[in-house]
Amino acid sequence: MTGGADADAADKTVVAPMPGLVVKIEVEVGQAVRAGQGVVVVEAMKMENELKAPADGVVAKILVQERQTVDKGATLIVLE
């Protein structure tokens, strides 16, 4: 009863682990991705961090653009 759909949605989102700058978006809407595949690169404290897909899926939404600053916990990409 608790966590069902919300837990599934959380498992298919890529969030910023820290504040930073989106350097590169490596996927596009409609693209199939595998768990562990790089989807977006965020620069934080002069280091580039490649964020990976948390699960297999299809890119449903890209909520950021390259050169955009993001806050910690911001949702960057949503998979379906």
User: Which band of pLDDT confidence, cut at 50, 70 and 90, is reported for residue 9?
Assistant: low
Residue 73: pLDDT over 50: yes
Q: Considering the entire predicted model, what is its pTM?
A: 0.85
User: Which band of pLDDT confidence, cut at 50, 70 and 90, is reported for residue 60?
Assistant: very high
Q: How many of the other CB atoms lie within 10 Å of CB of 8?
A: 10
Q: Provide mean pLDDT across the span 3-25.
A: 81
Q: Do strands 32-33 and 57-62 pair parallel, antiparallel, or not at all (unpaired)?
A: antiparallel
The reported pLDDT for the residue numbered 1 is 41
The reported pLDDT for the residue numbered 11 is 84
